[in-house]
């Protein structure tokens, strides 16, 4: 079985006093040794048949982390994102961006520059998601493009993967230990009386920008598992 690898670039656009964080996470489908018999239609014989298909499970590998210095302009951040996409050199990638704090103008600037970049790289397909974090219970579309995603959905994505041993962090990255600390400090509290979740350190107190950038990638990978699936495309 050939490993299928898709790269997810997660971007947490920080406000003026916050760090911006950019991460690259690889989603790798690993064989489990189990097989299913899936139905298919044999066009040659015009008969419904079943074939043996190996079952795989996804593993997420954080390969790159960076924090532009505080005060870096959004123009420079956008250019850095494009530099990273070019350096990766993949024909298909997923870009997940949190625009909650900076608003639509910055997202529109990134969208415009990304469109210009794609015109120069017609062989590349970017599947993009503009995400606004909410306290709601369901994912909804934003008028004019983008998604509103509940805080609990994003928070649980990397935590569940880490708990199941399916989130790996490359040791050699300078910010690897910082990410581990953010993940360990990022706790989910459940109010038994109301059944509502509250999330510690979400842009409060401790920095959690690296966690959020990785969470965006993991959430997109789990919600849209197929290569080329549309999250929100330009």
Residue 142, C-beta contacts closer than 8 angstroms, at least 6 positions apart: 130, 132, 148
Residue 196 domain flag: yes
Residue 229 domain flag: no
CATH number of the domain that residue 111 is part of: 3.30.420.240
Is pTM, for the whole model, over 0.85?
no
Query: Could you report the per-residue pLDDT of 117-173, keeping only the tens digit for each?
Result: 999 999 999 988 889 888 778 888 877 678 889 888 888 899 889 888 899 999 899
Q: Structural domain of residue 166, as residue ranges?
A: 5-29+60-223
Residue 50 domain flag: no
Residue 100 pLDDT? 84
Mean pLDDT of 102-116: 86
Q: How many domains does the chain have?
A: 1
């Amino acid at each position: 079985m050939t490993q299928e690898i898709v790269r997810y670039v997660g971007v947490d656009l920080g406000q003026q006093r916050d760090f911006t964080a950019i991460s690259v996470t690889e989603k790798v489908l690993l064989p489990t040794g189990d097989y299913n018999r899936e139905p298919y239609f044999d066009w040659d014989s015009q008969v419904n048949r079943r074939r043996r298909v190996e079952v795989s499970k996804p593993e997420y590998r954080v390969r790159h982390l960076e924090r532009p210095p505080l005060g870096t302009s959004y123009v420079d951040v956008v250019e850095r994102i494009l530099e990273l996409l070019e350096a990766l050199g993949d024909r298909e990638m997923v870009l997940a961006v949190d625009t909650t704090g900076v608003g639509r103008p910055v997202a529109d600037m990134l969208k415009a520059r990304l469109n210009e970049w794609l015109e120069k790289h017609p062989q590349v397909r970017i599947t993009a998601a503009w995400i606004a974090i909410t306290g709601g219970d369901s994912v909804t579309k934003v008028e004019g493009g983008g998604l509103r995603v509940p805080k609990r959905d994003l928070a649980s994505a990397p935590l569940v993967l880490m708990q199941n041993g399916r989130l790996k962090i490359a040791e050699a990255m300078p910010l690897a230990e910082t990410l581990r600390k953010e993940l360990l400090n990022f706790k989910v509290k459940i109010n038994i009386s109301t059944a509502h979740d509250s999330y510690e350190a979400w842009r409060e107190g401790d920095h959690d920008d690296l966690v959020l950038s990785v969470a965006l990638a993991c959430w997109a990978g789990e919600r849209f598992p197929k290569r080329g699936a549309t999250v929100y495309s330009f």
